[in-house]
Amino acid sequence: MVRRGRNAGMTLVEIMITLVISSIIAASTFMFFAGQQRIYETQTKLLNIQQNLWAAMEVLARYARASGSGMYECVRPASYYNATLDDGSRLLSGFPSPGPLTASLAVSPQAGLRSYNSTANSMQWIPPLWIVNNSSDAGVVAGTDIITVAFGNRTSGTDVDAPLSLNIATATDAISLTGTNTGNMFRLGEFILLLSTPNWGYGAGPNNDRGCTMFQITSDPTGSTTLVHAANPINTGDITWNPGSNVANMLPLGGYVNGSAGVRNFGQLTWVTFFVMTGTNGIPNLMMQQRHLGGTSGQAQVLAEGIEDLQVSFACDTGPAPGIYDLTGLNGRLDEGTDNNSRQSDEWWNNVPNDNLPAINTDGFCNLPTAIRLTLVVRTLTPDDLIDAALTQNGPMDVEDHRYSSPRPTDQFRRRVLTTTVYPRNNKPE
């Protein structure tokens, strides 16, 4: 046997074997860490979009929950919305029903507050809740929904804070209050609502129309009994909320009569629209437009990136248990089924395709939603090549009544969906 000397080195074969083994280990280690890096990057992308999703839903739900604050009894109960008994100032020609749904942002529901539109020099409605289902509005991602909510900040929460001492027959008449220094309960720049009494349902015609006309206080009312509502905005660039001359339909028929009308402190108006549009970089975004600000401040801004779908459904407790057709009252549940347009099994709207709100004074009409269900779908900002491009199951999601046509689009984006149900604090049973 031949023995190697003490100082002999490794043979070429041993070196080659060592190099091969080392290369295999190095390659395996590299592949392991490369795979982990890609998984880490994917999870980071998902975490980022989930943060966008959670943050967007938190804001959206908070606004929806507050919808209608300060608008107590400014939405007529469906049972008293009868065109044959109305005075004509509520059901205006060409306007849709008072329910929360309209076909586009061009015309709002005729419910909520009467307000001055300085651009058109006319009356506009500010409804507490306004939903455009499967929107076709310009700039909005097709098939997504639009939701607009309105409410008063720092509103008094009472019915009437001060009675009128003079009749108000036109939109420019003085708003004079009964009592000494009653103006102390109001503030410069805040809004007030004029309301008639009695409440809904105590007769036909004018008695069924509380009015709910909104004006902005333009002079400090402290120590006064007059609430000044001049036509000039308080600050340059602000919206003009008060007309300079009489505007049709700003007041209910007969105006506001001393002794049966009063003023409510509405505080500051918040009027916000949420919708989805695609940015210049091709990324869909959830947008937030503060309609009450106007000018550059009121332009739509990005609330969350990557939100590709917003769906809004709503429910009214309109009847008893599923399968039992009974007009006697409520059952305390919001039943949901597949039989759309039927109070027997489905008290939700916009949750299935072709789900149209019933007409006024028909069984199941819903204009004071008990609940609002919000659904957001978010996708990663960039495609993920870990997803096979030929995978036909990966693509946009069908949610609520939004359905994608066949063949369904496919892509390499990862998605997450979040749904929450909100119960507006300020809606009361009909």
pLDDT in tens, 279-312: 888 999 999 999 998 766 678 999 999 999 999 9
Nearest to 200 by CA among 190, 189, 191, 211: 211
Task: Give Cα separations from 318 to 73, 79, 370, 409 (angstroms).
Answer: 19, 12, 10, 38
Q: Which of 24-38, 161-175, 345-359 has the lowest mean pLDDT?
A: 24-38
Range 294-333 burial, b when 16+ CB lie within 10 A, else e? beeebebeebbbbbbbbbbbbbbbbbbebeeeeeeeebee
- Asked if the structure places residue 9 within a domain, the reply is no
Nearest to 218 by CA among 243, 249, 196: 243
Return d(Cα 46, Cα 74) in angstroms, integer.
Answer: 43
- Asked if the structure places residue 365 within a domain, the reply is yes
Is residue 305 helix, strand or coil? strand
> Can you say how many angstroms the Cα of residue 388 is from the centroid of all Cα atoms in its chain?
36
- Asked if the structure places residue 3 within a domain, the reply is no
Average pLDDT over residues 150-172: 90
Alpha helices in 256-365 (DSSP H): none
Sign of the C-alpha dihedral computed for residues 350, 356, 359 and 361 taken in this order? negative
Strand (E) or helix (H) holding 12 = helix 12-66
Nearest to 99 by CA among 66, 121, 128, 124: 128
Per-residue pLDDT reduced to its tens digit, 227-277:
999 998 888 778 999 999 999 889 987 889 888 899 999 999 999 999 999
Q: How confident is the model at residue 14 (pLDDT cuts 50, 70, 90)?
A: confident
Return d(Cα 406, Cα 409) in angstroms, integer.
Answer: 8
- Both tokens assigned to 377: 């779908």
The whole-model pTM stands at 0.84
- Asked if the structure places residue 20 within a domain, the reply is no
Higher-scoring residue by pLDDT: 325, 317? 317
Q: What percent of the chain has pLDDT over 70?
A: 79
Higher-scoring residue by pLDDT: 355, 309? 309
Is residue 37 helix, strand or coil? helix
Asked if 100 contacts 127 with a C-beta cutoff of 8 angstroms, the reply is: yes
Q: Is pLDDT above 70 for 203?
A: no
Per-residue pLDDT reduced to its tens digit, 327-350:
445 566 787 876 555 555 688 899
Which residues are within 8 A (CB) of 155 and not within 5 positions of it... i.e. 6 or more apart?
A: 69, 70, 264, 265, 266, 267
- Asked if the structure places residue 383 within a domain, the reply is yes
Which residues are within 8 A (CB) of 85 and not within 5 positions of it... i.e. 6 or more apart?
A: 204, 205, 208
Give the model's pLDDT for residue 255. 87
Domain of residue 274 covers 48-422
Number of domains in the chain: 1
- Asked if the structure places residue 14 within a domain, the reply is no
Strands in 127-163 per DSSP E? 129-132, 146-153, 162-163
- Asked if the structure places residue 13 within a domain, the reply is no
Per-residue pLDDT reduced to its tens digit, 102-152:
889 988 888 889 999 999 999 999 999 999 999 989 999 999 999 999 999
- Asked if the structure places residue 26 within a domain, the reply is no
